[in-house]
Structure 1
């Protein structure tokens, strides 16, 4: 949590389920960023949440109250037990009290003057003996879900959200089950369920201060399900639902651990800034049912963002980088490689960077294998801000679907086009279509229907490889130094690097807190590093045939990726690391010269992978270190004056240091590969799925030794929803070249023939 207050930047740290408050503290950073001070107060347990209380002129952050002089008071965990998640203005006594909510549905009211605590709903973690129970007689909540996130008051209600599920063990593996809740409270009793979905942020135009006109100002809530992002609007006592696309699926776990605290916050500009599912969004302060225009995608990111604010001339972002536990994010491709100590930090960026990081991409549905009632409109789905617009439609029977648009965001819908469909079809929405929202309705009831959008923009964010990467080893490099990397534990604030070159071991180096790389020989540390961070064998995980790369996940499923012949052999330093966590609860996958974002298995796993950048570099290892991203694999003859490269004190080794989101500027994702390459293909046997999502200009080459029909099927959702996209009739010896429409996207593509033949199907992404 980060808040500017009293001419300082205040921060609370957060760790996993800790109840005693001993591991997390309050920090203050000087106005010129020259120093950081750890406060002596112990405070509460795993605290987040923040509210500026105008009447008393105090910042409430976590379990601390800070006045305008910077004086701190704390609320002991013994008086307010639970994992504090959010703070809101009081419904009936806003001048003198505030509400505190916990991650396990607890609710307190706190006197802003005395810090006396009253318990309104018991925290789900706290089970005192009855004889020593300070809250005897206060009931626990029966609200479904857990892992609370947001809290906000207005229009006579206190609105609360959670984004997890702890009663159903399937939540640990299946992102599709019911999870989470949006709830309300009116002063007595338990939370009342509004909607059974995973929700995070709850806020309004008043942001951290609370709404200025609480009786009339709207309340917004952010959530999601398997289909898409859900934006709820509470206005004049009524809830309205909208849907937005997801950039990343890494946040989708049903247990709720993958998301942290997406926010909508004031950053001192005309519009608010929103983070959700890996995208920065511009969010209008005036958002309402009659004025819903103005939500705009800015750029995608890889960091996991817990909070952010404007501080001086920068955006200060609190991040959750590599954790010291793997939690559920485990797979054979990376071995057992949890960081010895969590490596999160702040990230300061210029406001102009918010729309210059990763390319805009959005995927999501209004229907996903759902029953649809006749003439019942879907939720509105955002298409403004996206130039490329593809809509995949699936019905279980012949249907007439009407596409309706809201051009001005005023809730006035007009019919745009009727589409007749029987089975599957994809539809291109013109980039010149001036519409904010799209919705669909069917003339007849349907037993099962899907309407899935793939959205994006032209890839102008991808430029030739940035000069900040100059010095990283390329395929032609000969004097290369690489080695394994591991951040150290016990607050050492150091990173171990086992430097090697083509002749073998150079030495054990330590990157210290001053960002100096020093040769510090230590045989025990060397062996410990190589034992603890050994790169797993690729056997049974990654194969390469004459056509493309084949990845086998932990369930034995096969997936194909583009292949680069330059990575067929291990080279002088051996194969580089394939997979590692560098942002919590997801992995960075480095395969054949391309970095990919790889969700945890509980969030879809490899079927939801997406490319980040194609670099074609000789990267040996990578990891998080104190919020930074570190790469090994340096061409010692090409370092020059690159400030991102740190050279060792003996001049024999070096590391690249930057931010994980620098990876977008390595290069546009491109690649070539095949599912069959002059291979004997049996009738009716599908090829392996080949990755399609996240690539720009796509083309296809098909050839066959016999007359045959080759059908191309696409997975439109990443969940195994396969449908025939196009059929190609080939004559013996004929080649067919096909260029995919620029707006067309799907997650995966596969092929099948109606005749036994020798076939080639090659895909080129440019």
Structure 2
């Protein structure tokens, strides 16, 4: 069995949703293509040692397309069967396959107690050792991660992950938000040692995926099974893109034994859409859908994990400078080449809003910051790693991003102090710190940002919101290094590293420590007392992955105004009507989104010209 995760056609280098990759097998005489999608892992219960009963044991394969993850299982007699699972991250998309490196299913248990861990698209999964087409129960999400993990194993009652961290060649991952910045001069990565429990303790397992994406569906033709269990809140978005009404029926396989029963049916008018909420009593291992007539449909599932985090950052961040601090020590970071194996820091100090350079420093394997007399390297960092100016625009209700394809996106605001700092270009906005995707730091929130060839900002994911003045960030020897430190506050914190002369400091951890900053929060909207034209939609505003979400609508007209709310659950421009509110003059219309609501983007349209506000609070 052979898996191929991508191709190098011009289309595949730039579009995430074109045909690419394959799963193939050799029957002793010829190669046969099993499925024309991108595939990665091929394994079975025996893992790297081979199946103990190769004549009868199943073969497992993982892959994906632009709609969802794919899981294939090969039965010795019946052949292949495929299932779909949601994606936590879209940063692994890209039809070329370069963003994938390299998902696995491996046993991290002990002798006599197998415990299979699956990695796929930024999620740790619990995988059942007994998984077959006739017994498909037991796959569960564990938690989301940000590292790019190539392989892992259990060792001395720890887990060891081999990761792809700092890549000298950023390949196709270029965008104007990064300016002319390059990767490190020399690639470097590391092993990541964690407790056995870590795969269940990182980010919320919120995820989504589709079975149909604007495609023709034949009458009574079932979708492929989609995972239906493992999340606190579940919903489905469905849109009839055809000219005739259609009934969509959901069915569940309660035990993973291929016995299906009807769950519910919904009727959709021509062009109609709906959000389908699944209660906690509506259970099953897998869900599938069918229609009563030929139709063109988009049908996606959105699953939300309970975010147990609060607004308080973990103690490991003590010593990072508060965004309102009068003084802090920052600097620009650069991974050196020529086998020097060190991280360069062009240090600075900010006092009462004025920033001055304090010298050039290097940090090596001993994690000591040492002052160096190297004007050439200091000048190179100053010129080549300067923070680009005016790459985002902070407005009254949001941060406006115009991406490299001239698409407009709006992100929530954090603390007000970030507005001036962002406008002055003193905080790094965007940088690659895990290979072939970016860490986006904007107005007090860290985001995971896929490369443009994986659809970029359309699939951005907020990770955590904070109140720190982070000047720059980079990866080095598998670590995430931050500048913007108040050394006196971090004296007892081993994550804070200060030079002997006290004039330079950094914070060091790993990228997945960012989950511990606190859950994502924000406020704002695409309209803030804005002049709105009738039937012209607002820019998309991010709503995905936040917790408590509340909307307030108002306008200044003398008559009622109908405001339509549309939702894009996928990030692919699949806009679906969510609600229409009649907003009376001088009144505020409020709506709290239910826990089962999960989508990526929201936008608004007014029925008449007016001055309107659409304000969202995420807590």
Residue 326 of structure 1 corresponds to which residue in structure 2? 170
Partner of 1:430: 279
Say whether 1:374 aligns with 2:219.
yes
Q: State how far apart, in whole Å, the 1-side matches of 2:568 and 2:588 are.
A: 25
Cα shift readout 1:656-711 (whole Å, capped 9, x = no counterpart):
00000000001100000121111111112111110111111111010011221111
Q: Using the alignment, how far apart are the partners of 1:688 and 1:512 within structure 2?
A: 46
- Mapped pair 1:291 → 2:142: no
Q: Aligned in 2, Cα 1:437/1:463: closer, same or farther, shift over 3 Å?
A: farther
Pick aligned residue for 1:632 from 480, 483, 492:
483
**Which residue in 2 is equivalent to 1:178?**
19
Distance 2:55 2:364 in 1: 54
Q: What is the match of residue 527 of structure 1?
A: 379
The equivalent residue for 2:349 is 501
- Give the equivalent residue in structure 1 for 2:70: 230
| CA–CA separation in structure 2 for the residues paired with 1:740 and 1:570 | 32
Whether the 8 Å CA contact 2:541–2:602 is kept in 1: the answer is: yes
- The aligned residue for residue 414 of structure 1 is 261
Counterpart contact for 2:498–2:504, Cα < 8 Å? yes
Give distance in 2, aligned partners of 1:207 and 1:681.
59
Question: Of the two, which has the highest radius of gyration?
Answer: 1
CA apart distance, 1:571: 8.5
Deviation of 1:573 (Å): 8.9
- Determine helix, strand or coil for the equivalent of 2:132: coil
Matches within 5 A, 1:596-675: 596-675=447-526
The change in CA–CA distance for 1:677 and 1:573 in structure 2 (over 3 A counts) is closer
Deviations 1:242-295 (A, max 9, x none): 000000000110011010110000112533000000000010000012211110
Q: CA deviation at 1:572?
A: 12
Quote the residue 1:80 is aligned against: none
Out of 404, 407, 410, the residue aligned to residue 560 of structure 1 is 410
Cα deviations by residue, 1:372-396 (Å, 9 ceiling, x for unpaired): 1111111111021111101001112
Runs of 4+ in 1 over 3 A off after TM superposition: 571-574
How far apart, CA to CA, are the structure 2 residues paired with 1:572 and 1:517?
30
Give the Å deviation of 1:201.
0.3
Distance in 2, Cα, partners of 1:495 & 1:727: 54
CA contact (8 A) 2:161 2:192 kept: yes
**TM-score w.r.t. structure 1 length?**
0.77
Deviations along 1:135-190, one digit per CA (max 9) or x if unpaired, are: xxxxxxxxxxxxxxxxxxxxxxxx11001112x3111111110000000002234x
Residue 649 (structure 1) shift: 1.3
Aligned to 2:6: 164
Give the aligned partner of residue 124 of structure 2.
280
* Match of residue 103 from structure 2: 262
Taking the aligned partners of 2:36 and 2:53, their CA distance within structure 1 comes to 28
With a CA cutoff of 8 Å and minimum separation of 6, indicate the structure with the bigger relative contact order: 2
Cα drift, residue 314 of structure 1: 0.9
Q: 1:573 to 1:486 in 2, by over 3 A?
A: farther
Counterpart residue number, 1:765: 618
Contact 1:592/1:616 (CA < 8 Å) preserved in 2? no
C-alpha contact (below 8 Å) 1:716/1:722 kept by paired residues: yes
* Alignment match of 2:37 (pick from 190, 197, 201): 197
Asked whether 1:340 is paired with 2:192, we answer no
Deviation at 1:652, TM superposition (A): 2.2
C-alpha RMSD over aligned residues: 1.4
Q: Distance in 2 between matches of 1:236 and 1:650?
A: 68
1:441 to 290, 309, 315: 290
Q: How many residues align?
A: 603
Residues 408/628 of structure 1: CA separation in 2 closer, same or farther (3 Å cut): same
User: 1:382-434 CA deviation, whole Å, 9 max, x = no partner?
Assistant: 02111110100111231111111111111111111121122200100113432
Change (3 A) 1:571 1:416: closer
Distance 1:573 1:351, change over 3 A: farther
Work out the CA distance in 2 between the residues paired with 1:456 and 1:335: 35
Conserved 8 A contact 2:401-2:408: yes
In 2, distance between residues paired with 1:218 and 1:598? 36
Q: Does 359-368 or 562-571 show the bigger shift? A: 562-571
Query: 1:575 offset after TM fit, Å?
Result: 1.9
How big is the shift at 1:343? Answer: 2.1
Unaligned stretches of 5+ residues in structure 2: none
Q: Cα deviation per residue 1:297-316 (whole Å; 9 max; x = unaligned)?
A: 00001111111111111111
Quote the Cα distance in structure 2 between the aligned partners of 1:474 and 1:405.
50
Structure 1 gaps, min length 5: 1-158
Structure 2 match to 1:741: 594
What SS does the corresponding residue of 1:726 show, helix, strand or coil? strand
Query: Is residue 321–residue 470 contact of structure 2 (8 Å, CA) maintained in 1?
Result: yes
Q: Which residue of 2 aligns with 1:392?
A: 237
1:301-337 deviations in whole A, cap 9, x for unaligned?
1111111111111111010112101210000110232
Q: Deviations over 1:563-616 (max 9, x none)?
A: 131111128995210000001110000000000000000001111101000012
Alpha-carbon distance between aligned partners in 1 of 2:95 and 2:344, rounded to the nearest angstrom: 35
Are the aligned partners of 2:487 and 2:496 in contact in 1 as well (CA < 8 Å)? no
Aligned to 1:731: 584
Quote the offset at 1:653 in angstroms: 1.8
Query: Do structure 1's residue 306 and structure 2's residue 159 form an aligned pair?
Result: no
Partner of residue 350, structure 1: 195
Shift of residue 552 of structure 1?
A: 1.0
Q: Deviations over 1:492-550 (max 9, x none)?
A: 11111111112511111111111111112322221111112111112xx3111222110
> Contact conserved, 1:386 with 1:431, CA < 8 A, in 2?
no
- 1:592 aligned to which of 443, 446, 449: 443
Q: Residues of 2 paired with 1:330 and 1:370: CA distance? A: 31
Which residue does 1:383 correspond to in 2? Answer: 228
Q: Which residue of 2 aligns with 1:715?
A: 568
Distance in 1 separating the partners of 2:142 and 2:411: 28
1:94-122 Cα distance to aligned partner (Å, 9 max, x none): xxxxxxxxxxxxxxxxxxxxxxxxxxxxx
3-state DSSP of counterpart to 1:170: helix
| Aligned counterparts, 1:14-53, within 5 A | none
Give the deviation of 1:636 after TM superposition. 2.5
Task: Give secondary structure in 1 for the equivalent of 2:376.
Answer: helix
Aligned to 2:529: 678
Written as runs of structure 1 = structure 2, the 5 A alignment for 1:65-214 is 159-166=1-8, 168-189=9-30, 191-214=31-54
Q: TM-score, normalising length from structure 2? A: 0.95
State the partner residue of 1:468: 316
Alpha-carbon distance, 1:445 to partner: 1.6
